[in-house]
Structures are given as structure tokens and as C-alpha cells.
């Protein structure tokens, strides 16, 4: 028995914070909101979400609404908390910022549960200690050509075997030029992926896909708006490049529709948007049952251990954004990462980097 007695909230900013941009957003800050559940026995568990500079009062307000509601639950009652609090938040909608808040608390509970039992989360879920492929992500449209080449070359030097860059420039030819420069820089042994962040219309996406096939692009992520299921269906029928999507989804319904249309190659659940560990696994199991590999969005420190628990684990996305402000960073070797063997998620944010909210 290990009941929650307190929930603390913090904010932190990445050591690598910078101004960056993709096809749809200008990002002025790389920052995070952290929730920490503390049990009656003094065990703490943390969860975090990537907040950038967006709506800080909204997400912190949503978390504050749930602070008192979590008190008294056992740390292992992750499903019960989702069921109970989902009933409460139904008035304002199940999807959206309340789900983000519920997800980060769910992740913190899993951390505390693992620490209570002295086991890593992946062991609690029946996973195995095995390496997971990771790819170096970035390639922002705001980068100069020199910055782009420096980043992908740096990933190669560190042992990554795959890199992803942003596309969705005003002209398709500009994207092709950047992709060719990356291919020249990393050689033919490194996989290259491209991500439009929903920033293209269908004709442009078709044009880019056709031209990029000559550069041997591994997959095309979010070419068009995520609700354009017919567009994904058409692209998959006409393109030789695999299609990846899923990070914008709050439940499994879009995945079901994409499966029905045979319009997807890789499923990319975002552990925060989709609602936490339990919902991430539900979506992953659905994708796996249709032979669709799972390639989660952004949260490698949660995704690597979770990917060891499923049979269609394609890989995880890697940024260095929290590495300078946590106590136990994941290390990449030959493009692979092993899950941490310490209890819970195996890492915590450094106290000196946390600002109370």
C-alpha cells in the first residue's frame, strides 16, 4: 500500500533551448512542465511533458485542477485514475489539454510504482532488456545549410544510423536541395527521414515524395494535415516512401480509420497526447495486431523502455533536450539504446533545474 499524499509541479528549460522552426511553427523556447507525485512512504515519481512556449497558464492550470484529485490513490491505480478523472473532465472534452495533464500524472505514477517495487517500468510490463533503435531528429527549417549539415554529421559521429530533417519549405525544390545536402554529408549507409509537420498540401506532398524517392528517403512523416485520411490513402498508393503519422492523436480512432484505408506504414503515438502509459500501450497493441510497426513521437526516455514490451518496436526519436537537466541520460551506441535498469523510469530532473509553479 503506497498512497499518494502530494503532487508537486515544476517548470524547467532545456540547456539546448533555442529559436527553431518547422513548416507550421516558430518555437522560441524548449521547455518542460514536470509533475511529481509523493507517496505517504516518501517515494517520489516524476513525469514530464514538452511544453515549448505554448499556453503555460493553461497546462499548469489543468495540472493544478488534478493536484488534489490524485491524493489518496495508490500509485499502482493508473487505470482507475484515468477512469475516474476522465469522468470529471468530460464536460470540457476528453481530448486536449486536460488529457495532457492526466498523461503526465499517469507517467509520474508509473515512476513511483516502479520505485516502490524496486523495478524499472519495462520489467513491470513484461519487457526484456534489449536494445532499441533510435534516430537523431531535428533538421529544422530555420537552420542554415551549415547548421543542418553540422547537426546530421554530428549524429553520424555519435553512432546514429538514421537522421530526420524537416521539410515543407515554400518550394519543393528547396526541400530537395536540403535532402541532397544531407545525403552527401552522411553517405549512403545512414537512413534519412523527412517530416513536414502537416505543413504541405497534397499536390506538394506528392511532388516531394516522387522526387525524394531518388535520394532514398526512408519515411515521410505527417506530409499533410492529420485528419486528411483520403490524402494519406492517396499518398500511400502513389508513393514508394513509407508514411508515418500519429503524434497528433488523442485516441485510437484515427489509427482505426487509417488501417481501414490501408493508409499508414508506421504508427507514431505521443505518450502525452494519447493519455499516458496505458493508452500508449493500447494503441501500440492495436497497431501491432495489424502488423504496423510502432515508432513513437519524441519521448525517448519513456518510449525506449515501453518499446521493449511490444513485438513491433520500430524505434524511438532522439533529441538531446532534457539530457543536460536530468541525472541519468540514455547513451546511444551504434544507433541503439538500452532501457535503464534502475527503478521506475530510471531518471529524475536535477533539483537545481526545477522552478516551482
State the DSSP H helix or E strand holding residue 219, giving kind and residue range, or none if neither.
Answer: strand 217-221
Report how far residue 71's alpha carbon sits from residue 244's, in angstroms, rounded to the nearest whole number: 39
Inter-residue contact 234 to 66 (CB < 8 Å):
no
Does position 88 have pLDDT exceeding 90, yes or no? Answer: no
Cα diameter, the chain: 61
CATH fold of 124-337, please?
TIM Barrel (3.20.20)
Report how far residue 253's alpha carbon sits from residue 274's, in angstroms, rounded to the nearest whole number: 11
> Residue 356 — φ and ψ, nearest 5°?
-65, 145
Pairing label, strands 191-195, 217-221: parallel
State the DSSP H helix or E strand holding residue 262, giving kind and residue range, or none if neither.
Answer: none
Q: What is the pLDDT of residue 90?
A: 87
- Tell me which residue of 304, 298, 302 sits closest to 197, measured CA to CA: 298
Grid cell in block for residue 168: 515543407
Report how far residue 25's alpha carbon sits from residue 27's, in angstroms, rounded to the nearest whole number: 6
State the DSSP H helix or E strand holding residue 69, giving kind and residue range, or none if neither.
Answer: none
Does position 93 have pLDDT exceeding 90, yes or no? Answer: no
Report how far residue 290's alpha carbon sits from residue 198's, in angstroms, rounded to the nearest whole number: 24
Task: List pLDDT tens digits, range 199-225.
Answer: 999 999 999 999 999 999 999 999 999
Q: What percent of the chain has a predicted confidence (pLDDT) above 90?
A: 96
- Tell me which residue of 283, 276, 333, 265 sits closest to 299, measured CA to CA: 276
The answer for residues whose C-beta is within 8 angstroms of residue 169's C-beta and 6 or more apart is 23, 141, 175, 178
> Residue 281 — φ and ψ, nearest 5°?
-65, -35
pTM over the 0.85 mark: yes
Grid cell in block for residue 292: 504496423
Q: What is the pLDDT of residue 1?
A: 64
CATH 3.30.390.10 for the 4-118+350-356 domain, yes or no: yes
The one-character DSSP state at 224 is: S
Does position 20 have pLDDT exceeding 70, yes or no? Answer: yes
Does position 301 have pLDDT exceeding 90, yes or no? Answer: yes
Angle between helices 78-89 and 277-289 (to 10 degrees): 100
Helix, strand or coil for residue 270?
A: coil
Does position 92 have pLDDT exceeding 90, yes or no? Answer: no
Inter-residue contact 86 to 106 (CB < 8 Å):
no
Length of the chain in terms of residues written = 357
The one-character DSSP state at 338 is: P
Report how far residue 320's alpha carbon sits from residue 134's, in angstroms, rounded to the nearest whole number: 12
pLDDT confidence bin for 182, thresholds 50/70/90: very high
Tell me the average pLDDT of the chain.
96
For 44-48, 85-89, 217-221, 277-281, which range has the lowest pLDDT when averaged over its residues? 85-89
Inter-residue contact 166 to 24 (CB < 8 Å):
no
Task: List pLDDT tens digits, range 244-271.
Answer: 999 999 999 999 999 999 999 999 999 9
How do the domains of the chain map onto residue ranges? 4-118+350-356, 124-337
Grid cell in block for residue 110: 508509473
Does position 107 have pLDDT exceeding 70, yes or no? Answer: yes
Give the residue-averaged pLDDT of 303-312: 95
Report how far residue 154's alpha carbon sits from residue 330's, in angstroms, rounded to the nearest whole number: 17
Report how far residue 60's alpha carbon sits from residue 69's, in angstroms, rounded to the nearest whole number: 15
Amino acid at each position: 500500500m503506497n498512497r499518494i499524499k502530494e503532487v508537486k509541479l515544476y517548470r524547467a528549460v532545456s540547456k539546448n533551448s533555442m529559436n527553431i522552426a518547422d513548416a507550421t511553427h516558430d518555437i522560441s523556447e524548449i521547455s518542460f512542465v514536470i509533475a511529481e507525485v509523493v507517496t505517504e512512504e516518501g517515494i517520489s515519481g516524476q513525469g514530464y511533458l514538452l511544453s515549448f512556449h505554448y499556453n503555460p497558464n493553461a497546462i499548469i492550470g489543468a495540472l493544478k485542477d488534478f493536484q488534489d484529485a490524485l491524493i489518496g490513490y495508490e500509485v499502482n491505480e493508473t487505470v482507475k485514475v484515468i477512469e475516474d478523472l476522465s469522468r470529471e473532465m468530460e464536460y470540457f472534452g476528453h481530448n486536449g489539454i486536460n488529457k495532457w495533464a492526466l498523461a503526465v500524472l499517469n507517467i509520474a505514477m508509473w515512476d513511483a510504482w516502479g520505485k516502490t517495487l524496486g523495478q524499472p517500468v519495462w520489467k513491470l510490463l513484461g519487457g526484456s532488456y534489449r536494445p532499441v533503435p533510435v534516430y537523431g531528429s531535428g533538421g529544422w527549417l530555420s537552420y542554415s545549410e551549415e547548421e543542418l549539415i553540422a547537426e546530421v554529421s554530428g549524429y553520424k559521429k555519435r553512432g546514429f544510423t538514421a537522421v530526420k530533417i524537416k521539410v515543407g519549405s515554400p518550394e519543393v525544390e528547396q526541400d530537395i536541395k536540403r535532402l541532397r545536402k544531407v545525403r552527401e554529408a552522411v553517405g549512403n549507409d545512414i537512413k534519412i527521414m523527412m517530416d513536414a509537420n502537416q505543413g504541405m498540401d497534397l499536390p506538394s506532398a506528392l511532388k516531394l515524395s516522387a522526387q525524394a524517392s531518388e535520394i532514398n528517403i526512408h519515411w515521410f512523416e505527417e506530409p499533410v494535415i492529420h485528419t486528411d485520411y483520403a490524402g494519406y490513402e492517396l499518398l500511400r498508393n502513389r508513393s514508394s516512401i513509407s508514411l508515418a503519422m500519429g503524434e497528433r492523436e488523442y485516441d485510437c480512432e484515427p489509427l482505426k480509420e487509417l488501417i481501414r484505408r490501408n493508409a499508414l506504414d508506421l504508427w507514431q503515438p505521443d505518450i502525452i497526447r494519447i493519455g499516458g502509459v496505458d493508452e500508449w500501450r493500447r494503441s501500440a497493441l492495436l497497431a501491432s495486431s495489424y502488423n504496423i510497426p510502432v515508432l513513437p513521437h519524441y519521448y525517448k526516455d519513456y518510449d525506449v523502455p515501453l518499446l521493449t514490451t511490444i513485438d513491433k518496436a520500430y524505434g524511438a526519436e532522439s533529441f538531446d533536450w532534457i539530457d543536460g537537466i536530468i541525472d541519468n541520460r540514455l547513451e546511444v551506441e551504434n544507433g541503439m539504446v538500452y532501457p535503464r535498469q534502475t527503478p521506475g523510469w530510471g531518471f529524475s530532473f536535477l533539483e537545481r533545474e526545477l522552478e516551482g509553479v
